[in-house]
Amino acid sequence: MIRNILFYIKEAFLSTKKNGIISLATIVCLTATLIIVGIFLIISLHINNFIANLESDLIAVAYLKDDLTQEEIGKLVQNTSSLEGVREVVYISKEEALQKLKEDLTEHEEILAGLPENPLPSSLEITVFEAGFLDEVSFQVNQFKGIEEVNYGGQLTKNLLIIFDFIRKTGLGIILILLFVSILIMFAVIKISVHSRQQEIEIMALVGATSWFIRWPFIIEGFLKGLLSSLISFFIIYKAYKFYLTQVKSLIPFISVNLEPDFILRIGITLLFLGVFIGIFGSMLSLRKISYEEL
Amino acid sequence: MFHVFKAFPNKINALWDVSIHIKKGEFVFLVGPTGAGKTTFLKLIYRGILPSKGQVIVDGVNLSRLKPSYVPFLRREIGVVFQDFKLLYNRSVFENVAFSLRVIGVKNAIIKKEVNEILNIIGLSHKKKTNPHLLSGGEQQKLCIARAVVSRPLILLTDEPTGNLDPETSWEIMKLLFKINIWGTTVIMASHDKLIVDKSQKRVIRLEQGKLVSDTMKGIYYKQ
């Protein structure tokens, strides 16, 4: 078994060396494809992250009229909570609102000091499950007695989500096309490799090598090319991403971008898997049938 | 072979109703003009092709019923030598012979022993590290024979092995083939070398336009 594996690996290297320029071209093509895939993955993960943050801010604020009794407020909270799509309703009294404002404006307390009385209304903070519920919930709450006004950043949030969804879908489409193309490239290259070793394959088939024995060196050749391409592309993406991060961070210090080991590792594993898959699958396609006929 | 017919898209009667029995250990010449069906005959035996009609039975196995996955195991019992050598010119003489053992998973130590032994027999052991394209035509043909018989097959098929060689070298090759035959290997040799066939005094099967026209023990090239 080990003897056979050594033979396969040796033959795979021999073949890669024999078709040097083509091998190099394949690795360059595959690496470029994987880099593009990697960039889209990074963008897509960032968008996901951003959307998750946006969605956690899916809040509408309903301002209450000043003259409501505790009972009426309780009823409003209850009615709002029972609407479809509402996750949570929090009542914020006039005092709490002022307290919050004071905390936000600690460095400019003089603005508040001049106020004769608390001008802030009490309010309900309504969190919905999805951006899609914002419109309807706001409309419904606005109908309730005792509500002064309902505010939410609805349209902007919704538009952003639509744009990001479009980018994600386009990215996925481009990735699928690129994967298809790279499998075709690998298919063609292994075909060339098989063709250039036709004599060897004929002799192997003639002296009684099994079809899998003939296939393995080519599959390993595809595997090695895929592996090498994914390692190179990951290295380039890693370096470029790190560079980009330091640049962005120095320009916009408060932006939330992350280079957690886990995140970049996930990209790495995905690229590795893709590279190896393309390599092996492309080779298998071009070796579907080893013919014992017409030798 | 029983009532074997073989048709190709461009040739209807490559073989036409050929029935013949070759015994184990025989030495048989297959003669006839170009296009008579000699190569088709050999291809049928190592299952390079299947008959259009009829049965080919090798060592008790009906090749029409042999599953493709068993073909490699049939091939291990059959050595084939081509007129155009089919050598690997990016490997040494030793590696060319060893290659046919490597691909059937023989251990390195045994490969070394067997290859050296066969190279000694054919007289190429002093050139085992040489690249085949530096060898003469006769030496290359010997190398092909070595590769075909190193796994000790039951049958050796040779297609015009003396086709491109001078008479002296041709006879050397013949002596080698006789030697292999004496070891017990059945040898089937396609040839249109009249001198060699007449001199050898072996069984001669003659094909013409795909048909078996004569089968003579200790025969000569032309019909008697």
| Domain count along chain A | 2
Does A153 map to a domain? Answer: no
Selected residue with higher pLDDT from B56 and A295: B56
B54-65 average pLDDT score: 90
Can you tell me the distance from the alpha carbon of A125 to that of A110, in angstroms, rounded to the nearest whole number? Answer: 27
Task: Tell me which of B114 and A243 has the higher pLDDT.
Answer: B114
**For chain B, which residues make up each domain, given as ranges?**
1-77+153-224, 82-151
Residues from chain B that touch A200, judged by Cβ atoms under 8 A, are 88
Question: What pLDDT was estimated at residue A82?
Answer: 84
Query: Are residues A104 and A210 part of one domain?
Result: no
Best residue of A5, A206, A212, A288 to probe chain B, by most B CBs closer than 10 Å: A206
pLDDT of residue A34: 87
- C-alpha dihedral, A22 to A24 to A29 to A34, nearest 10°: 140
| Residues A242, A203 within the same domain | yes
Within chain B, residue ranges assigned H as helices are 38-45, 71-75, 93-102, 108-122, 137-149, 167-182, 194-200
* pLDDT at residue B224, as a whole number: 46
- Considering the domain architecture, whether residues A35 and A83 belong to the same structural domain is answered as no
pLDDT at B23 over 60: yes
The structure tokens 């029972």 sit at: A82
Are residues B105 and A4, on separate chains, in Cβ contact within 8 Å? yes
A65 and A13 in a single domain? The answer is: no
Residue A30 and residue A169 share a domain: yes
Tell whether A145 is within 8 A of chain B (Cβ): no
CATH topology of domain B1-77+153-224: Rossmann fold (3.40.50)
The b/e string for A125-136 (b: 16+ C-beta within 10 A; e otherwise) is: ebbbeebebbbe
**pLDDT reading at B38 higher than 60:** yes
Name the token pair of A9: 């690996």
State whether A277 and A190 are in the same domain: yes
pLDDT at B63 over 80: yes
Indicate whether A197 and A172 sit together in one domain: yes
Full domain range(s) for residue A68: 59-129
Cα of A245 to nearest chain B Cα, Å: 51
Same-domain check for residues A96 and A167: no
8 A C-beta contact, residue A141 and residue A135: no
**Could you tell me the CATH number of the domain that includes residue A84?**
3.30.70.3040
Indicate whether B25 pLDDT > 90.
Answer: yes
Least confident of A102-111, A224-233, B165-174, B213-222: A102-111
What is the token pair recorded at A247?
């640049």
Q: What are the residue ranges in chain A where pLDDT is below 70?
A: 1, 52-57, 107-109, 153-158, 249, 251-261, 288-295
Torsion sign across C-alpha atoms A281, A285, A291, A295? negative
Nearest CA in chain A to B88: A200
Taking the C-alpha atoms of residue B44 and residue B55, their distance in angstroms, rounded to an integer, is 10
Candidates A207, A292, A295; nearest CB to B103 = A207
Tell whether A148 is covered by a domain: no
Return mean pLDDT, chain B.
90
Residues A38 and A75 placed together within one structural domain of the fold: no
* Contact (CB<8Å) B88/A203: yes
Which chain B positions have a beta carbon within 8 Å of A208's beta carbon? Answer: 72-76, 103-104, 151
CB B5 within 8 A of CB B53: yes
How crowded is residue B97: how many other Cβ atoms within 10 Å of its Cβ?
A: 29
A102 domain residue, yes or no: yes
Show residues of chain B in contact with A292, CB under 8 Å. Answer: 47-48, 68, 71-72, 75
Of A108, A129, A150, the one marking the end of a domain is A129
Mean per-residue pLDDT, B217-222: 77
CB of A109 less than 8 A from some CB of B:
no
B117 or A11, greater pLDDT: B117
Q: How many CB pairs under 8 A join A and B?
A: 67
Question: Is A24 within the bounds of a domain?
Answer: yes
Q: Measured between CB atoms, does A18 come within 8 Å of chain B?
A: yes
pLDDT exceeds 60 at position B210: yes
CB B207 within 8 A of CB B29: no
A198 CB neighbours in chain B (<8 A) are: none
Stronger pLDDT, A168 or B193, i.e. the higher one: B193
Question: A172: Cβ–Cβ under 8 A, 6 or more apart, which residues?
Answer: A44
Angle between helices A154-196 and A2-18 (to 10 degrees): 100
Spatial CB neighbours of B113, under 8 Å, sequence gap ≥ 6: none
Instruction: List residues in chain B touching A: CB distance below 8 A.
Output: 43, 46-50, 68-69, 71-76, 79-80, 86, 88, 90, 99-100, 102-105, 107-108, 147, 151
Of B223 and B211, the one with more pLDDT:
B211
